[in-house]
Amino acid sequence: MASQRVDIEPVKAAPATISPVHPRRAEPLERPQAAAPRGASSFADYAEEVGATSLAELLEAAAAYTSYVEGVDEFSRPQIMKKVRDLSPDNFNREDGLRSFGTLLRQGRIMKIRNGRFQISEQTRFRPEPRAAQG
């Protein structure tokens, strides 16, 4: 079978200089900059200002407050539940909170972005109006 053998000349490569790889951070998505509504210095003030009263509205308002006022792009369900529970610890029921959070997900007002992390949707009732650009 020597007639089927193919002799290949060894390839002489130029000496490669290896440089370390430096990861780059992706730029965060731009969210509308919104100040807390007049007089809203806390989530409790914010919820009152936007008129959130039901459990679902409070959970959605907590997600909006976290994203738009605190400037946090993504959050966990426990973060949002804690904001609402801290607002009214005696009236908070965990099962009802989980059920309402699930409803907000199905309605598309909150989006799941990966395991245990969520983002407020563009469809939220509490989306602030973008500020006019100052030039």
Confidence (pLDDT) at 121: 92
Could you read off the pLDDT of 108-120 as tens digits, one per residue? 999 999 999 999 9
Confidence (pLDDT) at 86: 93
Burial 98-116 (b: 16+ CB within 10 A, else e): eebbeebeeeebbbeeeee
Domains for the chain: give ranges and CATH numbers.
38-125 (1.10.10.10)
Over 70: is that where the pLDDT of 25 sits? no
Over 60: is that where the pLDDT of 78 sits? yes
Higher pLDDT among residues 29 and 113, named by residue: 113
Confidence (pLDDT) at 127: 82
Higher pLDDT among residues 5 and 132, named by residue: 5
Over 90: is that where the pLDDT of 10 sits? no
Please state the length of the chain.
Answer: 135
Rounded alpha-carbon distances, angstroms, from residue 37 to 83, 105, 106, 127: 17, 25, 28, 12
Confidence (pLDDT) at 13: 59
